[in-house]
Amino acid sequence: MSERNTVLRSMHDLGLAAWFGGSLMGAVALNGAADAEGGTWRSAARIASVGWARWTPVNAAAIAMHLVGGSGLLAANASRVGTQKGVAASTIAKTVLTGAALAVTAYSRVLGKKIELASSDSPEAQDKAVKHPIDTDKAQRDLARVQWVLPAVTGGLIVLNALHGEQQRPAEQMQGMFQRVGSMTAWPGMH
């Protein structure tokens, strides 16, 4: 029950911290600074696009690290997931939220890339933008909403991670396993 998984846990937690922190910093600081200092829509979009383009590889590495760490922890704790009451439900919730965070991340990157191409001075980017025209007003509105969804969802993952930490306390493990066994052996209709 007290097996250590320090490397996996570190990968999981550091990856999630970077994913959450980067999305929150981007929404609050990067996008806000670009709007305040850009002057025009095109300039503001270019400033934000440069920042997000620099963050994308770091974010991808953080997400990959989180997923590898999380998968390893799930494998290491598979018996607890199956035997301790409440752990399967929180694991399913975490999996669903992780999928949502991945989808929101991908969607925001697609929108951001479209804005990047539409606002670029580069002839190559302008050619791509002409070949794949977008409604920049709609893309900006969607990005304005999505920028707050991602920190909310990854923040939810941090809360569920805290719950998992609480569920790993020895007293919680024993109580959860006894409750699980009790619920499996109870007579129908008895509580």
In-domain check, residue 30: yes
In-domain check, residue 68: yes
User: What is the residue-wise DSSP string for 101-134?
Assistant: HHHHHHHHHHHHHHHHHHH---HHHHHHHHHS--
Domain that holds residue 98: 7-77+85-167
Task: Enter the DSSP assignment of 29.
Answer: I
Single-letter amino acid, residue 79: S
In-domain check, residue 180: no
In-domain check, residue 178: no
The better pLDDT of the pair 55, 128 is held by 55
Six-digit token string for 86? 């409440």
188: pLDDT strictly greater than 60: no
In-domain check, residue 179: no
26-59 confidence digits (pLDDT tens): 999 999 999 999 999 999 999 999 999 999 999 9
pLDDT, residue 1, reads 44
In-domain check, residue 132: yes
* Domain count within the chain: 1
The better pLDDT of the pair 133, 153 is held by 153
Which residue in 169, 188, 5, 26 sits closest to 87, CA to CA? 169
In-domain check, residue 63: yes
In-domain check, residue 1: no
